Chains A and B, each alone.
Chain A
């Protein structure tokens, strides 16, 4: 069971949360090239190791936030509100 640290509610069981995917994807400008849009919509880094990802506390405060989690071990390395710096450094 993942124990996910919601920045507002503290650590809670994963069953309260919904996954939202890679949080490093940035939306290009509306007039960006097709290739930039293709990369934004379809292409992912899919790293083996630390992964910054969106989660929403859907059965709690319903806020979206970013979790840094190791995809090899599921270890959670930190979490933060959107736009804020990740409190824990890379391991």
Chain B
């Protein structure tokens, strides 16, 4: 396991810790549901408390059209055996008193689609829990070791050049989301991926005020409260290609404005910290997990901004694919070839614009 920086210093330590499997399309639904099932018992599996908290993920509904879409997705989830529950405005108002559910709210709340088993997991604990478990199983974790080149011989992987020397290997797995494009380019591949920056931010820590995850697609906003008490929030991409791990102020303003429209009382809080992470944005908004067209080369990536919740299933599927040189049933649809074959998995129906998903 080669890491160019330090463990948990990339997107593993930069996400907003939300886990869920509230997807509409079958390949996404089954893949993320495996992930959520693995999250549920990961603390026992790793013997390391990853602080999985099934506090629910609530998608707010702001219009009759939103309502139809939420019902459709909720029904699709239930048909796939995934928990989904529609909540009325009154139920939400009773549960989340800080949320402005009044009829004259700037974005009136008509209801919401709840996935009760969704929630949060402590991201740093995930990084260290996995690292300790992998180390115990004999994996060498080499930090401060950047891959600078991929050596191929006769169309097959021969090894990697690194800042600490050459390592020979017949099989190589890329799990470098954010940088999948430029690492795959070392093997001569071009991917249907653009790298974009996504920002997140936290308020100063306060006593418990919000015991679930609230999201709103209409205002591009999501929020939860960490165990340290900070309100963790985020919204849209910055909407331009970037490898900079930092964004610009207009998106921060947008996120904060959305927050205050939904939760007026949070206006007294100070913003403590903002940061950015680099997302592999694929052309259909779904990941690429499987074999690449170089013998012995595999990847898991193209997570758009949903990679953290996929962590356990991503690892499971990549390991299976490498061990068997063939994909598991749950990642069989997430091929690189699907773009050329017209088998897009476009959850949002947004078309081939990387930043639109």
Give the B-binding residues of A (Cβ under 8 A): 1-2, 14-15, 19, 21-22, 34-35, 38-39, 41-46, 48, 51, 53, 69, 71-74
Starting from the known contacts A1-B249, A48-B195, A71-B242, 6 additional A-B residue pairs (CB-CB under 8 Å) come to A2-B240, A44-B191, A44-B192, A46-B182, A46-B191, A71-B241
CB contacts (< 8 Å) of A1 on chain B: these are 248-250
Q: Mark B330-344, 1 if CB is under 8 A from A, else 0.
A: 000000000110000
> A38 and B340: CB pair below 8 A?
yes
A19-B239, A71-B243 are contacts. A46–B193 as well, Cβ < 8 Å? yes
* B354 close to A (CB within 8 Å): yes
CB contacts (< 8 Å) of B181 on chain A: these are 44, 46
CB contacts (< 8 Å) of A35 on chain B: these are 340
> A45 and B354: CB pair below 8 A?
no
A43 to B250 CA separation, bound complex (whole angstroms): 29
CB contacts (< 8 Å) of B220 on chain A: these are none
> A34 and B340: CB pair below 8 A?
yes
For the complex, would chain A's binding face be called helix, strand, loop or mixed by DSSP majority?
A: mixed
CB contacts (< 8 Å) of B262 on chain A: these are none
CB contacts (< 8 Å) of B244 on chain A: these are 71-74
Shortest CB-to-CB span from A88 to chain B, Å, is 19
Shortest CB-to-CB span from B149 to chain A, Å, is 15
Q: Can you list 13 residue pairs at the A/B interface with Cβ under 8 Å?
A: A14-B250, A19-B240, A21-B353, A34-B340, A39-B190, A43-B191, A46-B181, A48-B243, A51-B241, A53-B240, A69-B240, A71-B195, A74-B248
Number of A-B contacts (CB under 8 A): 65
> B242 and A42: CB pair below 8 A?
no
Of chain A, the residue at the smallest CB distance from B356 is A21
CB contacts (< 8 Å) of A45 on chain B: these are 190
A72 to B352 CA separation, bound complex (whole angstroms): 24
CB contacts (< 8 Å) of A15 on chain B: these are 250
CB contacts (< 8 Å) of B339 on chain A: these are 38, 42
> A43 and B249: CB pair below 8 A?
no
* B355 close to A (CB within 8 Å): yes
A22 to B193 CA separation, bound complex (whole angstroms): 12
Closest 5 CB pairs of A and B: A42-B192, A46-B181, A42-B339, A38-B340, A42-B283
Residue from the set A44, A46, A53, A69 with the largest chain B CB neighbour count within 10 Å = A46
A15-B250, A38-B339, A71-B244 are contacts. A43–B195 as well, Cβ < 8 Å? no
> A53 and B241: CB pair below 8 A?
yes
A3 to B181 CA separation, bound complex (whole angstroms): 27
A21 to B354 CA separation, bound complex (whole angstroms): 9
* B194 close to A (CB within 8 Å): yes
Residue from the set A2, A71, A72 with the largest chain B CB neighbour count within 10 Å = A71
Of chain B, the residue at the smallest CB distance from A37 is B340
CB contacts (< 8 Å) of B192 on chain A: these are 42-44
CB contacts (< 8 Å) of A53 on chain B: these are 240-241
Q: Which of B228-247 contact A (CB under 8 A)?
A: 239-244
CB contacts (< 8 Å) of A73 on chain B: these are 244
Shortest CB-to-CB span from A82 to chain B, Å, is 18
Q: Name the contact of A43 in the complex, choosing from B190, B240, B241, B353 (C-beta under 8 A).
A: B190
A46 to B241 CA separation, bound complex (whole angstroms): 8
Shortest CB-to-CB span from A42 to chain B, Å, is 4
